[in-house]
């Protein structure tokens, strides 16, 4: 079955520290991959996406993610976290044919300590 | 920049009542979606809609749900007889259908539905 796993439900980091949020997927073929951020009570904002090509993708707000086919992973990173990065982060995949529905992970809630 | 809009932002209804959630997708998009997010949980796919018909639906999308594109701009989700467990944030999304861009979906801000 198609699924997305975000192993860390909560992560706490200090402001200025580096961050890595994990995402693993199970899919029949290499899907398209996305990271979204959601602030409390807000909608979904796209951080970055991977379709093909360079496996290291750059996104908004200083985020990047690396696609590793051998590990079925698409981990999100940021070298220096800001207090405003506190939010919930969702990894999502979609197929490369059909209806292109998104399958989301369960999310990782990020807390940033001042 | 074009965006997906949703109305209302918050809807409160009593159990058993019908609700209609409205969405205006981006104008040149042809694929439309509804997702829901129960408080504290992940976002779940409900239904996709293309060429005036449902192209895929999840097991959540049972007979109490329906979708419609009543005119050239709106896309609606109707819940016929709401239950307490329908309380959630409902997101509409749309995507383009040109040259491989169809996989990127643009999400609206959501409608928070509260069933009492």
Sign, Cα dihedral of B60, B57, A104, A71: positive
Cβ contact, residue pair A106, B42, below 8 Å:
yes
Chain-chain contact of B105 with A100 (C-beta, under 8 angstroms): yes
> Are the beta carbons of B69 and B51 closer than 8 angstroms?
no
Nearest CB to B33 within list A36, A98, A101: A101
Size of interface A-B (CB pairs under 8 A): 55
Long-range CB contacts (< 8 A, 24+ apart) of A98-102?
Answer: A98/B56, A99/B31, A99/B48, A99/B50, A99/B55, A99/B56, A100/A32, A100/B31, A100/B48, A100/B95, A100/B102, A100/B103, A100/B105, A101/B33, A101/B45, A101/B48, A101/B56, A102/A34, A102/B33, A102/B35, A102/B43, A102/B45, A102/B93, A102/B105
Three-state SS for B98?
A: coil
Using a CB-CB distance cutoff of 8 angstroms, which residues of chain B are in contact with residue A57? none
Separation between Cα atoms, residue B20 and residue A104, nearest integer Å: 25
A chain contacts of residue B45, beta-carbon cutoff 8 Å: 101-103
Mean pLDDT across chain B, nearest whole number? 92
Q: What is the per-residue pLDDT for B99?
A: 54
Contact A101 B48 (CB under 8 A): yes
A5 touches chain B (CB under 8 A): no
**Contact criterion met (CB < 8 Å) for B103 and A42:** no
A31-82 pLDDT, tens per residue? 899 999 998 878 889 999 998 889 999 999 999 999 999 999 999 999 999 9
Average pLDDT of span B87-116: 86
Model pLDDT for residues B42-52, shown as the tens digit of each residue: 999 999 998 89
Q: Which residue has the higher pLDDT, B116 or A96?
A: B116
Express each pLDDT in A98-108 by its tens digit.
768 899 999 99
Q: How far is A61 from chain B (nearest CA, A)?
A: 18
First to last CA, chain B: 37
Say yes or no: A105 contacts chain B, CB-CB below 8 A. Answer: yes
């Amino acid at each position: 079955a198609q699924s997305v796993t975000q192993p860390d439900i909560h992560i706490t980091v200090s402001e200025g520290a580096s961050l890595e949020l994990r995402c693993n997927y199970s899919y029949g073929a290499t899907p398209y991959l996305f990271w979204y951020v959601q602030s409390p009570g807000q909608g979904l904002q796209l951080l970055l996406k991977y379709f093909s090509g360079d496996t290291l993708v750059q996104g908004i707000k200083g985020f990047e993610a690396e696609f590793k086919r051998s590990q079925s992973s698409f981990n999100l990173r940021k070298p220096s976290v800001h207090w405003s990065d506190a939010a919930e982060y969702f990894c999502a995949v979609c197929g490369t044919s059909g209806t292109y529905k998104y399958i989301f992970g369960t999310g990782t809630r990020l807390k940033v300590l001042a | 920049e074009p965006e997906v809009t949703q109305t209302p932002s918050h809807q409160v209804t009593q159990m058993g009542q019908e609700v209609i959630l409205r969405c205006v997708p981006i104008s040149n998009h042809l694929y439309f979606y509804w997702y829901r997010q129960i408080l504290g949980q992940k976002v779940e796919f409900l239904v996709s809609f293309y060429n005036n018909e449902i192209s895929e639906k999840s097991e959540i999308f049972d007979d109490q749900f329906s979708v419609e594109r009543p005119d050239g701009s709106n896309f609606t989700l109707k819940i016929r007889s709401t239950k307490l467990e329908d309380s959630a944030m409902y997101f509409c999304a749309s995507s383009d259908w040109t040259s491989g861009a169809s996989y990127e979906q643009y999400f609206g801000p959501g409608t928070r539905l509260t069933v009492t």
